[in-house]
Each structure stands twice: as structure tokens, then as C-alpha cells.
Amino acid sequence: MISFRFQRLVEKMLSIKFVIFIVATVLRCFSVIGNAEWLTIALTVIAGREVQKFKDFKYSKKETYEESLGSN
């Protein structure tokens, strides 16, 4: 159980969106980029995740609907 959760955490940490967020945060800590740029990157990453969740939900709901039509 713990190894499965750890594996999922590593997979999430290696996603490109998370890497971009971490790099932007490090750059912000060293004052390479400003607050506005960091906020823009953070909002883009968050929006990208939400869009991905919505698309996954939409496709899973569509498949369920199609399966119910086929079973009648």
C-alpha cells in the first residue's frame, strides 16, 4: 500500500507541469523572476491540471454512457 502511494507520488513529481512549477518557484526564491511571472506560471499549471481532470472526467462519462447504451 505504501509503495503504491510512493510510486504514484514519484509519477506525479515527474510530470512536466510539476517540474515547471518547481523551477519557477526556485527562480522566484532567487529573485530571477518576479511575483507576476511566478503567479502566471502557477495559474497556468493549475489551469492545465483542471482542464486535464475535466477531459478525463468527460471521456470516462462518455464511455460509461456508451456502455449503458450497448447493454440495452
pLDDT at 10 over 80: no
pLDDT at 66 over 60: no
pTM of this prediction exceeds 0.75: no
DSSP structure string for the chain: -HHHHHHHHHHHHTSHHHHHHHHHHHHHHTTSS-HHHHHHHHHHHHHHHHHHHHHHHHHHHHHHHHHHHHH-
Determine the pLDDT at residue 65: 56
pLDDT tens digits for 29-45? 999 999 999 999 989 88
